[in-house]
Structure 1
Amino acid sequence: MPELPDVEGFRRVLESCARGRVVRRVEVRDTGVLHGVSARQLRDALEGRRFTRTERRGKWLLARTGGPTLLLHFGMTGRLLRAHPDDPVEAHDRVLVTVSRDRQLRYRDQRKLQGLWLAHDESEVVRVLGRLGPDATAVGREDFEAALSSHRGSVKTVLTDQTVLAGLGNLLADEILWRAGLSPTSRADGLGEADRRSLYTHMRRTLRSAIPAGRVPPRNTWLTGHRDDPDAACPRCGSPLRRSHVGGRGTVWCPRCQ
Protein backbone atom coordinates (compact mmCIF):
# COMPACT_ATOMS: atom_id res chain seq x y z
CA MET A 1 0.00 0.00 0.00
CA PRO A 2 1.50 3.38 -0.98
CA GLU A 3 2.42 5.43 2.07
CA LEU A 4 4.05 8.83 2.50
CA PRO A 5 7.47 7.85 1.04
CA ASP A 6 5.83 6.21 -2.00
CA VAL A 7 3.67 9.24 -2.70
CA GLU A 8 6.67 11.52 -2.34
CA GLY A 9 8.32 9.33 -4.98
CA PHE A 10 5.25 9.77 -7.22
CA ARG A 11 5.50 13.53 -6.67
CA ARG A 12 9.07 13.43 -7.94
CA VAL A 13 7.90 11.52 -11.01
CA LEU A 14 5.26 14.16 -11.67
CA GLU A 15 7.73 16.98 -11.04
CA SER A 16 10.43 15.64 -13.34
CA CYS A 17 8.10 14.50 -16.10
CA ALA A 18 5.45 17.18 -16.29
CA ARG A 19 6.15 20.35 -14.35
CA GLY A 20 6.21 23.34 -16.68
CA ARG A 21 4.84 21.31 -19.57
CA VAL A 22 1.52 21.74 -21.30
CA VAL A 23 -0.95 18.88 -21.13
CA ARG A 24 -1.46 17.75 -24.72
CA ARG A 25 -3.91 14.92 -24.16
CA VAL A 26 -5.84 13.26 -21.35
CA GLU A 27 -7.08 9.75 -22.03
CA VAL A 28 -9.37 8.15 -19.46
CA ARG A 29 -9.42 4.43 -20.03
CA ASP A 30 -11.49 3.62 -16.95
CA THR A 31 -13.92 6.13 -15.44
CA GLY A 32 -14.07 4.00 -12.30
CA VAL A 33 -11.10 5.94 -10.89
CA LEU A 34 -12.72 9.36 -11.39
CA HIS A 35 -14.52 10.98 -8.45
CA GLY A 36 -16.94 13.85 -8.95
CA VAL A 37 -15.70 14.53 -12.48
CA SER A 38 -16.43 12.99 -15.88
CA ALA A 39 -13.81 12.00 -18.43
CA ARG A 40 -14.86 14.90 -20.65
CA GLN A 41 -14.71 17.41 -17.78
CA LEU A 42 -11.25 16.20 -16.84
CA ARG A 43 -10.02 16.57 -20.43
CA ASP A 44 -11.56 20.03 -20.80
CA ALA A 45 -10.06 21.20 -17.52
CA LEU A 46 -6.50 19.94 -18.13
CA GLU A 47 -5.78 19.88 -21.86
CA GLY A 48 -3.92 23.01 -22.89
CA ARG A 49 -2.96 23.87 -19.31
CA ARG A 50 0.50 23.71 -17.81
CA PHE A 51 1.43 21.89 -14.59
CA THR A 52 2.96 24.66 -12.50
CA ARG A 53 3.51 23.12 -9.07
CA THR A 54 3.39 19.76 -7.31
CA GLU A 55 2.56 19.09 -3.66
CA ARG A 56 2.15 16.11 -1.38
CA ARG A 57 -0.08 16.16 1.67
CA GLY A 58 0.09 12.90 3.54
CA LYS A 59 -0.86 10.23 1.01
CA TRP A 60 -2.38 12.77 -1.41
CA LEU A 61 -0.64 14.18 -4.49
CA LEU A 62 -1.67 17.57 -5.85
CA ALA A 63 -0.87 18.78 -9.38
CA ARG A 64 -1.43 22.53 -9.67
CA THR A 65 -2.10 24.24 -13.00
CA GLY A 66 -2.68 27.85 -11.95
CA GLY A 67 -6.36 27.02 -12.38
CA PRO A 68 -7.88 23.62 -11.58
CA THR A 69 -5.94 21.29 -9.30
CA LEU A 70 -5.70 17.57 -10.00
CA LEU A 71 -5.69 15.47 -6.82
CA LEU A 72 -4.55 11.86 -6.78
CA HIS A 73 -4.86 9.22 -4.09
CA PHE A 74 -3.35 5.79 -4.63
CA GLY A 75 -5.38 3.59 -2.30
CA MET A 76 -3.81 0.16 -1.86
CA THR A 77 -2.40 -0.54 -5.32
CA GLY A 78 -2.14 2.78 -7.17
CA ARG A 79 1.03 4.10 -8.81
CA LEU A 80 2.10 7.04 -10.96
CA LEU A 81 4.62 6.23 -13.68
CA ARG A 82 6.46 7.99 -16.44
CA ALA A 83 6.17 6.34 -19.84
CA HIS A 84 6.61 7.04 -23.53
CA PRO A 85 3.30 7.60 -25.35
CA ASP A 86 4.17 4.70 -27.67
CA ASP A 87 4.78 2.22 -24.84
CA PRO A 88 2.26 -0.63 -24.65
CA VAL A 89 -0.62 0.21 -22.34
CA GLU A 90 -0.90 -2.11 -19.34
CA ALA A 91 -4.22 -3.62 -18.25
CA HIS A 92 -4.38 -1.46 -15.12
CA ASP A 93 -3.37 1.85 -16.71
CA ARG A 94 -6.52 3.85 -15.94
CA VAL A 95 -5.61 7.43 -16.96
CA LEU A 96 -2.92 8.60 -19.40
CA VAL A 97 -1.73 12.22 -19.45
CA THR A 98 0.54 13.09 -22.39
CA VAL A 99 2.72 16.17 -21.90
CA SER A 100 5.08 15.90 -24.90
CA ARG A 101 5.95 13.67 -27.80
CA ASP A 102 8.06 11.50 -25.51
CA ARG A 103 6.56 11.99 -22.03
CA GLN A 104 3.41 10.54 -20.58
CA LEU A 105 2.13 10.11 -17.03
CA ARG A 106 0.16 6.97 -16.25
CA TYR A 107 -2.09 6.41 -13.26
CA ARG A 108 -1.98 2.65 -12.79
CA ASP A 109 -4.17 0.93 -10.22
CA GLN A 110 -5.33 -2.66 -9.98
CA ARG A 111 -8.00 -2.43 -7.29
CA LYS A 112 -9.31 1.10 -7.96
CA LEU A 113 -10.04 1.90 -4.31
CA GLN A 114 -9.22 5.60 -4.73
CA GLY A 115 -8.32 7.60 -7.85
CA LEU A 116 -8.49 11.15 -9.22
CA TRP A 117 -10.40 14.27 -8.18
CA LEU A 118 -10.54 17.73 -9.78
CA ALA A 119 -10.77 20.90 -7.70
CA HIS A 120 -11.51 24.22 -9.41
CA ASP A 121 -10.38 26.41 -6.51
CA GLU A 122 -8.79 26.16 -3.09
CA SER A 123 -12.10 25.73 -1.31
CA GLU A 124 -12.72 22.58 -3.37
CA VAL A 125 -9.21 21.33 -2.53
CA VAL A 126 -10.06 21.70 1.15
CA ARG A 127 -13.38 19.91 0.63
CA VAL A 128 -11.72 16.96 -1.14
CA LEU A 129 -9.00 16.60 1.46
CA GLY A 130 -11.60 16.75 4.21
CA ARG A 131 -10.36 16.59 7.81
CA LEU A 132 -6.82 15.64 6.87
CA GLY A 133 -4.42 15.98 9.78
CA PRO A 134 -0.97 17.57 9.63
CA ASP A 135 1.60 15.92 7.40
CA ALA A 136 3.86 13.53 9.30
CA THR A 137 6.98 15.25 7.94
CA ALA A 138 5.85 18.69 9.05
CA VAL A 139 4.13 18.17 12.41
CA GLY A 140 6.00 19.65 15.36
CA ARG A 141 6.85 17.60 18.42
CA GLU A 142 4.47 19.47 20.73
CA ASP A 143 1.53 19.06 18.34
CA PHE A 144 2.41 15.40 17.83
CA GLU A 145 2.49 14.73 21.57
CA ALA A 146 -0.75 16.66 22.10
CA ALA A 147 -2.49 14.57 19.42
CA LEU A 148 -1.40 11.34 21.09
CA SER A 149 -2.47 12.54 24.53
CA SER A 150 -5.95 13.48 23.33
CA HIS A 151 -6.86 10.10 21.78
CA ARG A 152 -7.90 7.05 23.76
CA GLY A 153 -7.37 4.41 21.08
CA SER A 154 -4.34 2.20 20.57
CA VAL A 155 -1.21 4.02 19.49
CA LYS A 156 -1.14 2.03 16.21
CA THR A 157 -4.69 3.15 15.42
CA VAL A 158 -3.90 6.79 16.20
CA LEU A 159 -0.71 6.81 14.12
CA THR A 160 -2.58 5.50 11.07
CA ASP A 161 -5.62 7.77 11.48
CA GLN A 162 -5.26 10.26 8.63
CA THR A 163 -7.37 12.85 10.46
CA VAL A 164 -4.81 12.84 13.27
CA LEU A 165 -1.60 12.52 11.27
CA ALA A 166 -1.41 12.32 7.49
CA GLY A 167 0.88 9.93 5.66
CA LEU A 168 1.54 6.95 7.91
CA GLY A 169 0.23 3.50 7.00
CA ASN A 170 0.72 -0.03 8.24
CA LEU A 171 4.37 -0.48 7.33
CA LEU A 172 5.54 2.85 8.70
CA ALA A 173 3.52 2.60 11.89
CA ASP A 174 4.81 -0.91 12.66
CA GLU A 175 8.39 0.13 11.86
CA ILE A 176 8.23 3.25 14.04
CA LEU A 177 6.65 1.44 16.98
CA TRP A 178 9.25 -1.32 16.77
CA ARG A 179 12.08 1.20 16.77
CA ALA A 180 10.55 3.01 19.74
CA GLY A 181 10.03 -0.25 21.63
CA LEU A 182 6.29 0.33 22.08
CA SER A 183 3.50 -2.20 21.79
CA PRO A 184 1.03 -1.32 19.03
CA THR A 185 -1.83 -1.98 21.46
CA SER A 186 -0.65 0.58 24.03
CA ARG A 187 -3.19 3.32 24.62
CA ALA A 188 -2.07 6.55 22.99
CA ASP A 189 -3.28 8.72 25.85
CA GLY A 190 -1.49 6.48 28.36
CA LEU A 191 2.02 7.00 27.00
CA GLY A 192 4.46 8.85 29.18
CA GLU A 193 6.39 11.92 28.05
CA ALA A 194 9.55 9.89 27.37
CA ASP A 195 7.64 7.41 25.18
CA ARG A 196 5.92 10.19 23.24
CA ARG A 197 9.23 11.90 22.57
CA SER A 198 10.86 8.63 21.55
CA LEU A 199 8.00 7.90 19.18
CA TYR A 200 8.31 11.32 17.56
CA THR A 201 12.09 10.98 17.20
CA HIS A 202 11.84 7.55 15.59
CA MET A 203 9.06 8.70 13.28
CA ARG A 204 11.26 11.51 11.99
CA ARG A 205 14.29 9.23 11.58
CA THR A 206 12.29 6.53 9.80
CA LEU A 207 10.79 9.04 7.38
CA ARG A 208 14.18 10.60 6.65
CA SER A 209 15.48 7.16 5.66
CA ALA A 210 12.41 6.03 3.73
CA ILE A 211 11.65 9.13 1.66
CA PRO A 212 14.84 9.03 -0.47
CA ALA A 213 14.07 5.37 -1.25
CA GLY A 214 10.56 6.24 -2.42
CA ARG A 215 9.14 3.44 -0.29
CA VAL A 216 9.42 1.83 3.12
CA PRO A 217 12.60 -0.08 2.33
CA PRO A 218 12.74 -3.79 3.28
CA ARG A 219 16.22 -3.56 4.75
CA ASN A 220 17.65 -6.41 6.82
CA THR A 221 18.05 -4.15 9.84
CA TRP A 222 14.42 -3.00 9.63
CA LEU A 223 11.30 -4.78 10.86
CA THR A 224 9.92 -4.16 7.36
CA GLY A 225 12.65 -6.33 5.91
CA HIS A 226 11.43 -9.40 7.79
CA ARG A 227 7.67 -9.06 8.25
CA ASP A 228 6.94 -11.26 5.20
CA ASP A 229 9.53 -13.95 5.99
CA PRO A 230 8.08 -17.48 6.42
CA ASP A 231 9.48 -17.70 9.95
CA ALA A 232 9.76 -14.00 10.65
CA ALA A 233 12.15 -13.09 13.44
CA CYS A 234 12.99 -9.77 15.03
CA PRO A 235 16.16 -8.30 13.49
CA ARG A 236 17.08 -6.86 16.88
CA CYS A 237 16.68 -9.78 19.28
CA GLY A 238 15.89 -12.77 17.05
CA SER A 239 12.57 -13.55 18.73
CA PRO A 240 9.67 -14.73 16.57
CA LEU A 241 7.55 -11.84 15.36
CA ARG A 242 3.89 -11.82 16.27
CA ARG A 243 1.04 -11.07 13.86
CA SER A 244 -2.45 -9.90 14.72
CA HIS A 245 -4.96 -7.18 13.90
CA VAL A 246 -5.01 -3.83 15.69
CA GLY A 247 -7.85 -1.53 14.78
CA GLY A 248 -8.68 -3.80 11.86
CA ARG A 249 -5.17 -3.54 10.40
CA GLY A 250 -2.68 -6.37 10.00
CA THR A 251 0.06 -5.69 12.52
CA VAL A 252 3.52 -7.16 13.08
CA TRP A 253 5.60 -6.61 16.21
CA CYS A 254 8.16 -8.18 18.50
CA PRO A 255 6.62 -9.20 21.84
CA ARG A 256 10.05 -9.13 23.48
CA CYS A 257 11.29 -5.73 22.23
CA GLN A 258 7.93 -4.02 22.40
Structure 2
Amino acid sequence: MPELPDVEGFRNVLQSCAQGRVVRRVEVRDTGVLHGVGARQLREALEGRRVTGTERHGKWLLARTGGPTLLLHFGMTGRLLCAHPDDPAEPHDRVLFTVARDRQLRYRDQRKLQGLWLAHDESDVVRLLAGQGPDALTVDRAEFEAALASHRGRLKAVLIDQSVLAGLGNLLADEILWRARLRPGTPADALTAPESRRLYTEMRRTLRPAVAAGRVPPRDTWLTGHRDTPDPHCPRCHTALRRTRVGGRTTVWCPGCQAAPSDTGRR
Protein backbone atom coordinates (compact mmCIF):
# COMPACT_ATOMS: atom_id res chain seq x y z
CA MET A 1 0.00 0.00 0.00
CA PRO A 2 1.37 3.45 -0.84
CA GLU A 3 2.28 5.29 2.36
CA LEU A 4 3.52 8.81 3.00
CA PRO A 5 6.96 8.31 1.35
CA ASP A 6 5.38 6.80 -1.77
CA VAL A 7 2.86 9.62 -2.07
CA GLU A 8 5.61 12.20 -1.61
CA GLY A 9 7.34 10.44 -4.51
CA PHE A 10 4.13 10.73 -6.55
CA ARG A 11 4.04 14.43 -5.69
CA ASN A 12 7.51 14.76 -7.20
CA VAL A 13 6.27 12.99 -10.33
CA LEU A 14 3.29 15.34 -10.53
CA GLN A 15 5.51 18.36 -10.00
CA SER A 16 8.16 17.42 -12.56
CA CYS A 17 5.68 16.20 -15.17
CA ALA A 18 2.86 18.72 -14.94
CA GLN A 19 3.51 21.76 -12.76
CA GLY A 20 3.48 24.95 -14.80
CA ARG A 21 1.90 23.17 -17.75
CA VAL A 22 -1.62 23.39 -19.15
CA VAL A 23 -3.80 20.30 -19.10
CA ARG A 24 -4.47 19.79 -22.80
CA ARG A 25 -6.58 16.67 -22.58
CA VAL A 26 -8.18 14.49 -19.91
CA GLU A 27 -8.97 10.92 -20.91
CA VAL A 28 -11.00 8.89 -18.43
CA ARG A 29 -10.59 5.23 -19.31
CA ASP A 30 -12.41 3.94 -16.23
CA THR A 31 -15.01 6.00 -14.37
CA GLY A 32 -14.78 3.57 -11.45
CA VAL A 33 -11.95 5.65 -9.96
CA LEU A 34 -13.93 8.92 -10.03
CA HIS A 35 -15.70 10.02 -6.85
CA GLY A 36 -18.36 12.71 -6.85
CA VAL A 37 -17.51 13.80 -10.37
CA GLY A 38 -18.25 12.44 -13.83
CA ALA A 39 -15.82 12.08 -16.72
CA ARG A 40 -17.32 15.02 -18.62
CA GLN A 41 -17.26 17.24 -15.53
CA LEU A 42 -13.62 16.36 -14.89
CA ARG A 43 -12.66 17.20 -18.46
CA GLU A 44 -14.54 20.51 -18.44
CA ALA A 45 -13.04 21.51 -15.10
CA LEU A 46 -9.41 20.72 -15.91
CA GLU A 47 -8.82 21.01 -19.65
CA GLY A 48 -7.23 24.36 -20.40
CA ARG A 49 -6.20 24.83 -16.76
CA ARG A 50 -2.57 25.23 -15.71
CA VAL A 51 -1.20 23.11 -12.87
CA THR A 52 0.05 25.79 -10.50
CA GLY A 53 1.14 23.77 -7.48
CA THR A 54 1.31 20.40 -5.76
CA GLU A 55 0.68 19.45 -2.14
CA ARG A 56 0.52 16.30 -0.07
CA HIS A 57 -1.34 15.67 3.17
CA GLY A 58 -0.84 12.20 4.57
CA LYS A 59 -1.70 9.82 1.76
CA TRP A 60 -3.59 12.45 -0.24
CA LEU A 61 -2.08 14.30 -3.19
CA LEU A 62 -3.41 17.65 -4.41
CA ALA A 63 -2.93 19.24 -7.84
CA ARG A 64 -3.76 22.95 -7.71
CA THR A 65 -4.86 24.89 -10.78
CA GLY A 66 -5.76 28.30 -9.35
CA GLY A 67 -9.37 27.16 -9.63
CA PRO A 68 -10.51 23.54 -9.16
CA THR A 69 -8.18 21.24 -7.24
CA LEU A 70 -7.70 17.60 -8.19
CA LEU A 71 -7.28 15.28 -5.21
CA LEU A 72 -5.81 11.81 -5.61
CA HIS A 73 -5.70 8.89 -3.19
CA PHE A 74 -3.86 5.71 -4.13
CA GLY A 75 -5.53 3.08 -1.97
CA MET A 76 -3.72 -0.26 -2.01
CA THR A 77 -2.32 -0.35 -5.54
CA GLY A 78 -2.48 3.14 -7.04
CA ARG A 79 0.47 5.04 -8.47
CA LEU A 80 1.24 8.08 -10.58
CA LEU A 81 3.69 8.13 -13.46
CA CYS A 82 4.81 10.35 -16.30
CA ALA A 83 4.76 8.84 -19.80
CA HIS A 84 4.82 9.90 -23.44
CA PRO A 85 1.33 10.34 -24.93
CA ASP A 86 2.25 7.88 -27.69
CA ASP A 87 3.17 5.12 -25.23
CA PRO A 88 0.51 2.38 -25.21
CA ALA A 89 -1.77 2.62 -22.17
CA GLU A 90 -1.46 -0.19 -19.64
CA PRO A 91 -4.61 -2.13 -18.65
CA HIS A 92 -4.72 -0.41 -15.25
CA ASP A 93 -4.16 3.14 -16.52
CA ARG A 94 -7.47 4.66 -15.40
CA VAL A 95 -7.11 8.40 -16.13
CA LEU A 96 -4.63 10.11 -18.48
CA PHE A 97 -3.75 13.81 -18.35
CA THR A 98 -1.88 15.08 -21.41
CA VAL A 99 0.09 18.18 -20.39
CA ALA A 100 2.50 18.56 -23.33
CA ARG A 101 3.30 16.98 -26.67
CA ASP A 102 5.73 14.67 -24.93
CA ARG A 103 4.24 14.42 -21.41
CA GLN A 104 1.26 12.56 -20.08
CA LEU A 105 0.44 12.04 -16.42
CA ARG A 106 -1.15 8.66 -15.73
CA TYR A 107 -3.14 7.48 -12.72
CA ARG A 108 -2.63 3.72 -12.63
CA ASP A 109 -4.48 1.49 -10.17
CA GLN A 110 -5.19 -2.22 -10.27
CA ARG A 111 -7.73 -2.62 -7.48
CA LYS A 112 -9.45 0.79 -7.67
CA LEU A 113 -10.03 1.10 -3.93
CA GLN A 114 -9.66 4.89 -3.97
CA GLY A 115 -9.18 7.27 -6.89
CA LEU A 116 -9.79 10.89 -7.86
CA TRP A 117 -11.93 13.69 -6.43
CA LEU A 118 -12.50 17.23 -7.72
CA ALA A 119 -12.71 20.16 -5.33
CA HIS A 120 -14.29 23.23 -6.92
CA ASP A 121 -12.99 25.60 -4.25
CA GLU A 122 -11.03 25.63 -1.01
CA SER A 123 -14.09 24.78 1.07
CA ASP A 124 -14.39 21.55 -0.93
CA VAL A 125 -10.74 20.75 -0.20
CA VAL A 126 -11.31 21.34 3.51
CA ARG A 127 -14.41 19.13 3.45
CA LEU A 128 -12.64 16.27 1.67
CA LEU A 129 -9.69 16.34 4.08
CA ALA A 130 -11.76 17.02 7.20
CA GLY A 131 -11.32 13.48 8.54
CA GLN A 132 -7.52 13.59 8.35
CA GLY A 133 -5.27 14.12 11.33
CA PRO A 134 -2.07 16.16 11.17
CA ASP A 135 0.48 15.10 8.58
CA ALA A 136 3.06 12.71 10.06
CA LEU A 137 5.96 14.46 8.33
CA THR A 138 5.14 17.95 9.57
CA VAL A 139 3.36 17.37 12.92
CA ASP A 140 5.20 18.88 15.88
CA ARG A 141 6.00 16.85 18.98
CA ALA A 142 3.40 18.46 21.23
CA GLU A 143 0.58 17.78 18.76
CA PHE A 144 1.83 14.24 18.20
CA GLU A 145 1.95 13.45 21.90
CA ALA A 146 -1.46 15.00 22.51
CA ALA A 147 -2.98 12.92 19.71
CA LEU A 148 -1.62 9.67 21.16
CA ALA A 149 -2.57 10.51 24.73
CA SER A 150 -6.19 11.08 23.74
CA HIS A 151 -6.66 7.55 22.36
CA ARG A 152 -6.96 4.33 24.33
CA GLY A 153 -6.44 1.94 21.45
CA ARG A 154 -3.41 -0.21 20.82
CA LEU A 155 -0.45 1.86 19.75
CA LYS A 156 -0.07 0.53 16.22
CA ALA A 157 -3.79 0.82 15.52
CA VAL A 158 -3.66 4.46 16.63
CA LEU A 159 -0.59 5.22 14.51
CA ILE A 160 -2.21 3.94 11.31
CA ASP A 161 -5.55 5.63 12.03
CA GLN A 162 -5.57 8.44 9.46
CA SER A 163 -7.91 10.52 11.60
CA VAL A 164 -5.25 10.58 14.32
CA LEU A 165 -2.11 10.93 12.20
CA ALA A 166 -2.15 11.13 8.41
CA GLY A 167 0.34 9.23 6.31
CA LEU A 168 1.52 6.20 8.26
CA GLY A 169 0.66 2.72 7.04
CA ASN A 170 1.52 -0.83 7.98
CA LEU A 171 5.21 -0.92 7.09
CA LEU A 172 6.02 2.48 8.55
CA ALA A 173 4.19 1.81 11.81
CA ASP A 174 6.01 -1.49 12.34
CA GLU A 175 9.36 0.09 11.49
CA ILE A 176 8.85 3.08 13.79
CA LEU A 177 7.68 0.96 16.72
CA TRP A 178 10.62 -1.40 16.28
CA ARG A 179 13.05 1.52 16.27
CA ALA A 180 11.37 2.99 19.35
CA ARG A 181 11.47 -0.41 21.13
CA LEU A 182 7.73 -0.35 21.79
CA ARG A 183 5.30 -3.22 21.31
CA PRO A 184 2.47 -2.68 18.84
CA GLY A 185 -0.16 -3.70 21.39
CA THR A 186 0.86 -1.13 23.97
CA PRO A 187 -2.08 1.14 24.90
CA ALA A 188 -1.42 4.48 23.22
CA ASP A 189 -2.51 6.48 26.26
CA ALA A 190 -0.20 4.48 28.56
CA LEU A 191 3.08 5.73 27.13
CA THR A 192 5.40 7.53 29.48
CA ALA A 193 6.71 10.95 28.50
CA PRO A 194 10.16 9.54 27.55
CA GLU A 195 8.49 6.84 25.43
CA SER A 196 6.35 9.39 23.60
CA ARG A 197 9.40 11.53 22.90
CA ARG A 198 11.34 8.51 21.68
CA LEU A 199 8.49 7.43 19.44
CA TYR A 200 8.26 10.89 17.88
CA THR A 201 12.03 11.03 17.35
CA GLU A 202 12.11 7.61 15.70
CA MET A 203 9.17 8.51 13.48
CA ARG A 204 11.12 11.52 12.20
CA ARG A 205 14.28 9.45 11.76
CA THR A 206 12.36 6.83 9.80
CA LEU A 207 10.42 9.22 7.59
CA ARG A 208 13.37 11.29 6.37
CA PRO A 209 15.26 8.48 4.56
CA ALA A 210 12.01 6.81 3.51
CA VAL A 211 10.82 10.02 1.82
CA ALA A 212 14.22 10.36 0.12
CA ALA A 213 13.86 6.78 -1.18
CA GLY A 214 10.21 7.24 -2.18
CA ARG A 215 9.28 4.12 -0.24
CA VAL A 216 9.96 2.28 3.02
CA PRO A 217 13.38 0.91 2.03
CA PRO A 218 14.01 -2.79 2.76
CA ARG A 219 17.49 -2.20 4.16
CA ASP A 220 19.35 -4.91 6.07
CA THR A 221 19.52 -2.67 9.14
CA TRP A 222 15.75 -2.02 9.06
CA LEU A 223 12.96 -4.30 10.24
CA THR A 224 11.45 -3.85 6.78
CA GLY A 225 14.43 -5.60 5.25
CA HIS A 226 13.71 -8.80 7.20
CA ARG A 227 9.95 -9.03 7.71
CA ASP A 228 9.27 -10.99 4.51
CA THR A 229 12.16 -13.45 4.70
CA PRO A 230 11.27 -17.16 5.25
CA ASP A 231 12.69 -17.17 8.79
CA PRO A 232 12.77 -13.52 9.87
CA HIS A 233 15.02 -12.43 12.69
CA CYS A 234 15.53 -9.03 14.30
CA PRO A 235 18.47 -7.18 12.71
CA ARG A 236 19.23 -5.62 16.10
CA CYS A 237 19.12 -8.47 18.64
CA HIS A 238 18.66 -11.47 16.28
CA THR A 239 15.57 -12.75 18.10
CA ALA A 240 13.02 -14.49 15.87
CA LEU A 241 10.39 -11.97 14.79
CA ARG A 242 6.72 -12.56 15.57
CA ARG A 243 3.65 -11.94 13.47
CA THR A 244 0.35 -10.88 14.98
CA ARG A 245 -2.62 -8.79 13.87
CA VAL A 246 -3.23 -5.30 15.20
CA GLY A 247 -5.90 -3.02 13.80
CA GLY A 248 -6.73 -5.70 11.25
CA ARG A 249 -3.23 -5.58 9.76
CA THR A 250 -0.41 -8.12 9.79
CA THR A 251 2.08 -6.85 12.34
CA VAL A 252 5.73 -7.83 12.65
CA TRP A 253 7.64 -7.14 15.85
CA CYS A 254 10.53 -8.34 17.98
CA PRO A 255 9.76 -9.85 21.40
CA GLY A 256 13.40 -9.44 22.36
CA CYS A 257 13.84 -5.69 22.12
CA GLN A 258 10.36 -4.19 21.96
CA ALA A 259 9.35 -3.63 25.57
CA ALA A 260 5.98 -4.72 26.94
CA PRO A 261 3.94 -2.21 28.97
CA SER A 262 4.42 -4.27 32.15
CA ASP A 263 8.18 -4.54 31.73
CA THR A 264 10.24 -3.08 34.48
CA GLY A 265 13.45 -1.28 33.76
CA ARG A 266 12.11 0.29 30.58
CA ARG A 267 14.70 0.86 27.88
TM norm structure 2: 0.96
* 1:36 alignment counterpart: 36
Aligned to 2:176: 176
Q: 1:106 matched to which residue of 2? A: 106
Measure, in 2, the Cα distance between the counterparts of 1:173 and 1:206: 10
Q: For residue 39 of structure 1, what is the amino acid of its counterpart? A: A
Within 2, Cα distance between the matches of 1:244 and 1:109?
Answer: 28
Q: Distance in 2 between matches of 1:230 and 1:88?
A: 38
- Alignment map for 1:87-236 (pairs within 5 Å): 87-236=87-236
Runs (5+) with no aligned partner, structure 1:
none
CA distance in 2, matches of 1:67, 1:228: 45
Q: Does residue 25 of structure 2 align to residue 25 of structure 1?
A: yes
Q: Distance in 1 between matches of 2:230 and 2:44?
A: 50
1:180 alignment partner AA: A
3-state SS in 1 of match to 2:110: coil
Shift, 1:240, TM fit: 1.1
AA at the equivalent of 2:115:
G
Report the CA distance between 1:237 and its aligned residue. 1.2
What amino acid is the match of 2:9?
G
1:129 is matched by which residue type in structure 2?
Answer: L
Report the AA paired with residue 190 of structure 2. G
- 1:2 has 2:2 as partner: yes
**Structure 2: distance between partners of 1:90 and 1:130:** 34
In structure 2, C-alpha distance between the alignment counterparts of 1:70 and 1:131, rounded to whole Å:
18
Identity %: 78
Task: Specify the SS of the correspondent of 1:94.
Answer: strand
Cα distance in 1 between the residues matched to 2:129 and 2:191: 29
Deviation, 1:19, is: 0.3
Instruction: Write the mapping of 1:3-82 to structure 2, written as runs, cut at 5 A.
Output: 3-82=3-82
Which amino acid in structure 1 is aligned with residue 171 of structure 2? L
Q: Which residue of 2 aligns with 1:251?
A: 251
User: Structure 2 CA distance, aligned partners of 1:29 and 1:185?
Assistant: 43
Q: Equivalents in 1 of 2:249, 2:25: separation in Å?
A: 39
The amino acid of 2:178's aligned partner reads W
* Number of residue equivalences: 258
Residue 129 of structure 1 and its aligned partner are, at CA, apart by 1.4
Can you list the C-alpha shifts for 1:136-188, whole angstroms capped at 9, x where unaligned?
Answer: 11111111111111110011011111111100000000000000000000000
* Structure-2 separation of matches of 1:88 and 1:228: 34
Q: What letter matches 2:208 in structure 1? A: R
CA shift, 1:249, in A, is: 1.1
Q: Which 4+ residue blocks in structure 1 deviate beyond 6 angstroms?
A: none
Q: Take 1:89 and 1:247, find their aligned partners in 2: how far apart are those partners?
A: 37
Q: Distance in 1 between matches of 2:181 and 2:219?
A: 18
Q: CA deviation at 1:130?
A: 2.5
d(CA) in 2 for partners of 1:64, 1:219: 35
Question: Following TM superposition, by how much is the alpha carbon of 1:128 offset from its aligned partner in structure 2, in angstroms?
Answer: 1.2
Provide Cα deviations, 1:18-37, integer angstroms capped at 9, x if missing partner: 00000010000000000000
Query: C-alpha displacement at 1:197, in angstroms?
Result: 0.4
- Which moved further from structure 2: 114-123 or 141-150? 141-150
Aligned partner of 1:227: which letter? R
TM-align CA RMSD: 0.6
